[in-house]
Amino acid sequence: ADKLRTQQELERLQAKYIGTGHPDTTSWEFKTNIHRDTFSNIVGHPPLLSYIALAQNEPVAKVRAQMIRKMLQPAGPPPPRE
């Protein structure tokens, strides 16, 4: 029963928090998640966003939109399923 509960708890977490891993997480899923987390993190921290915008010499708003669009598929398309 304990095992079942742990399983359920894990599934609940996986549903609630995107990116919670499971035994069959593929490398692509992992990479995609990490990249998405990175981009959302940059967008969420104003000093970091300014830092990048300043280096690129682009307006902050533009860099922000670029970062969010990069979250779409940061690690390429998923590997073909067997």
Partner 1 sequence: MATTSNMFMYSLTIQPPTTITQALLGQFSGTREQQIITASGSRLTLLQPDPKLGKVLTILSHDIFGIIRAISLFRLAGSHKDYIILATDSGRIAIIEYNPKLNKFSRIHLETFGKSGVRRVIPGQYLAADPRGRACLIASLEKNKLVYVLNRNSQAELTISSPLEAHKHGVLVLSLVALDVGYANPVFAALEIDYSEADQDPTGEAREEVETQLVYYELDLGLNHVVRKWSDTVDPTASMLFQVPGGNDGPSGVLVCGEESVTYRHSNQEAFRVPVPRRRGATEDPQRKRMIVAGVMHKLKGSAGAFFFLLQSEDGDLFKVTLDMAEDAEGNPTGEVKRLKIKYFDTIPVATSLCILKSGFLFAASEFGNHMFYQFEKLGDDDEELEFNSDDFPTDARAAYTPVYFHPRPLENLALVESMDSMSPMVDCKVANLTGEDAPQIYSVCGNGARSTFRMLKHGLEVSEIVASELPGTPSGVWTTKLTKYDEFDAYIVLSFTNATLVLRIGETVEEVTPSDSGFLTGVPTLAVQQLGEEGVIQVHPKGIRHIVRGRVNEWPSPQHRSIVAATANENQVVIALSSGEIVYFEMDADGSLAEYDEKKEMSGTVTCLSLGVVPEGLKRSSFLAVGCDDCTVRILSLDPETTLEMKSIQALTAAPSALSIMAMEDSFGGTTLYLHIGLHSGVYLRTVLDEITGELTDTRQKFLGPKPTRLFRVLVQNQPCVLALNSRPWLGYTDPLTKGFMMTPLSYTELDFSWNFSSEQCQEGMVGIHANYLRIFNIEKLGDNLIQKSIPLTYTPKKLVKHPDQPYFYTIESDNNTLPPELRAQLLAQPSAVNGDATLLPPDEFGYPRAKGRWSSCISIVDPLSEENGVLHRIDLDNNEAAVSVAVVPFASQDNEHFLIVGTGKDMVLNPRQFTEGYIHVYRFHEDGRELEFIHKTKVEEPPMALIPFQGRLLAGVGKVIRIYDLGLRQLLRKSQADIAPTLIVSLQTQGNRIIVGDVQQGLTYVVYKQESNKLLAFADDTVNRWTTCTAMVDYESVAGGDRFGNLWILRCPEKASAESDEPGSEIQLIHARDYLHGAPNRTSLMVHFFAQDLPTSICKTNLVVGGQDVLLWSGIQGTVGVLIPFVSREDVDFFQNLENHMRSEDPPLAGRDHLIYRGYYTPVKGVIDGDLCERFSLLPNDKKQTIAGELDRSVREIERKISDVRTRSAF
Q: Should residue 82 be labelled a site residue for partner 1 when binding is judged by CB under 8 A? A: no
Task: Report the nearest approach of partner 1 to the CB of residue 47 (Å).
Answer: 4
Convert residues 23-62 into a mask of x (bound to partner 1 by CB under 8 A) and - (unbound).
Answer: ---------x---xx--xx-xxxxxx-xx-xxxxxxxxxx
Answer whether 75's CB lies under 8 Å from 28's CB: yes
Answer whether 53's CB lies under 8 Å from 63's CB: yes
Amino acid at 16: K
By beta-carbon proximity to partner 1, the closer residue of 2 and 82 is 82
